[in-house]
Chain A
Amino acid sequence: MHVLPGLESALRSMRGGAPADPDREIMRTTTVDLAADTPAGAAARRTTAWTAGGLAAAAALTGGLLAPTDAAQGQAQRLMYVHVPAAWVAYLAFTVVLAASLAHLIRGDLRWDRYARAGAEIGVALTAVALASGAYWGHLVWGTWWAWDPRLVSTALLLLTYAGYLALRRAVAERTGRDGADRTAAVLGVAGFLLVPVVHFSVVWWRSLHQPATVLAPERPPIDARMGLALLLAVAAASVAALCVLLYRVVRLSRRHGPDPATSASRRREPARVG
């Protein structure tokens, strides 16, 4: 995977979880921890944000101008370039909640809990975007804003579950005075992910008004190459933008909770700008 050196190290540190050795951190000049509250981390986050902005501009141009108008649905089909990325990146965000909640349950490290919270916030927002854009698309093409359809109902359930997860966290934090100390939310963060495959396969398992997947289908039905490119760019833009928001939130939450004892000496003195 050759994205950004900083991305690779961020993914590595998200997987590994071991806090970076301060001495080694000085030696590393090419890779930067994207979630580090340091000037280098902030610069790397700014680079990621610009990448997201560039991808979003490219996606807007491709989806708005280059991609042709759909034969069956007309201009309404262009809502796909908002609706599909929102839904997919929401899945990704809930995958972050799942992984981070598991890591938090197993290791008891609050660092992971912040990833879980930020992931859930992003996932809830994007699920709301997917529902809203889907309702408008449905109004234009199906002739109805809402239907009691398995895909729509399960998506609403997904939104409620993770909104409930965030509400539970808030309630526990207000009672105990500390955010993330309770493991009940982490269990819900893991269990809630059971709904993600239900949402995705609802159009296959049950009869649905919603059309089945196109790109993630086992035998891919035809989609125009320019439409496919616009969709790909939009998904990439949404993914990188969501990664940006995730890192920004994690850094903010880490500051609010106070720095980790092991690294407080070096980090407290020079708070870096969040990119």
Chain B
Amino acid sequence: MIRRPGRLALAGVLVAAGALVVAGALEDTLTYYRTPAEILSDPDAAGERVRIGGDVVPGSLRRDGETVVFRLAEAGHEIVVHQRGAPPDTFREGEGAVVEGRLSPDGVFRADHVEVRHGNEYGPTGAESPDAR
């Protein structure tokens, strides 16, 4: 038998090793969404169900019957999104959003689920700083 301090140290090392293995295995799935640039440059992404995150480009939002059309931008890259169904009430131009769906061969991302991704700034209406998203 290993002495008590040794056993404690062993348990600690085992827990740390286990945590590393779990974190490593989860590395890919831990990325909740991908960026427009990653999707557009990845040939395997077409047809796969993915999530894309970015900011809704101001002026790009329009409604086309059941479909909501807008562009998502992140770090200078944009992707056109055709969303089927109404997005949440908090969905606005200039705010962040995550969409879930598939990239069509024509380069349009067809989404059926929108989540609004808001910032960590809080304040009343009219008190927004100029750079507030």
User: Considering the complex, which residues of chain A in the window 143-165 have a beta carbon less than 8 Å from any beta carbon of chain B?
Assistant: 143-144, 147-150
Interchain CB contact under 8 A, A227 and B123: yes
Q: Chain A residue with minimal CB distance to B88? A: A143
Q: Chain A residue with minimal CB distance to B124? A: A68
Q: How far is the CA of A221 from the CA of B124 in the complex (A)?
A: 14
**CB of B127 within 8 A of chain A?**
yes
A209: contacting residue among B95, B115, B121, B132, CB under 8 A:
B115
Interchain CB contact under 8 A, B30 and A142: no
Q: How far is the CA of A221 from the CA of B119 in the complex (A)?
A: 9
Residues of A within 8 A of B11 (CB): 187, 191
Q: Chain A residue with minimal CB distance to B87? A: A143
A148: contacting residue among B32, B91, B127, CB under 8 A:
B32
Distance from A132 Cβ to chain B, minimum over Cβ atoms (Å): 19
Interchain CB contact under 8 A, A221 and B118: no
User: Considering the complex, which residues of chain A in the window 27-82 have a beta carbon less than 8 Å from any beta carbon of chain B?
Assistant: 68-74, 77, 80
Q: Chain B residue with minimal CB distance to A206? A: B30
Interchain CB contact under 8 A, B114 and A143: yes
Distance from B73 Cβ to chain A, minimum over Cβ atoms (Å): 16
Distance from B69 Cβ to chain A, minimum over Cβ atoms (Å): 18
Residues of B within 8 A of A73 (CB): 90, 118, 122
Residues of B within 8 A of A213 (CB): 120
Interchain CB contact under 8 A, B121 and A222: yes
Q: Chain A residue with minimal CB distance to B132? A: A222
**CB of B53 within 8 A of chain A?**
yes
Distance from B71 Cβ to chain A, minimum over Cβ atoms (Å): 19
Q: How far is the CA of A248 from the CA of B19 in the complex (A)?
A: 34
Interchain CB contact under 8 A, A144 and B121: no
Residues of B within 8 A of A194 (CB): 15-16, 19
**CB of A141 within 8 A of chain B?**
yes
Interchain CB contact under 8 A, A223 and B32: no
**CB of A212 within 8 A of chain B?**
yes
5 A-B pairs with CB atoms under 8 Å apart are: A70-B124, A71-B123, A142-B88, A223-B121, A224-B123
- Top 8 A-B pairs ranked by shortest CB distance? A143-B88, A68-B124, A211-B120, A71-B125, A224-B123, A191-B15, A214-B120, A206-B30
Q: A72-B92, A143-B90, A206-B30 are in contact. List 6 more A-B contacts (CB 8 A).
A: A141-B90, A141-B116, A143-B115, A149-B32, A187-B11, A209-B115
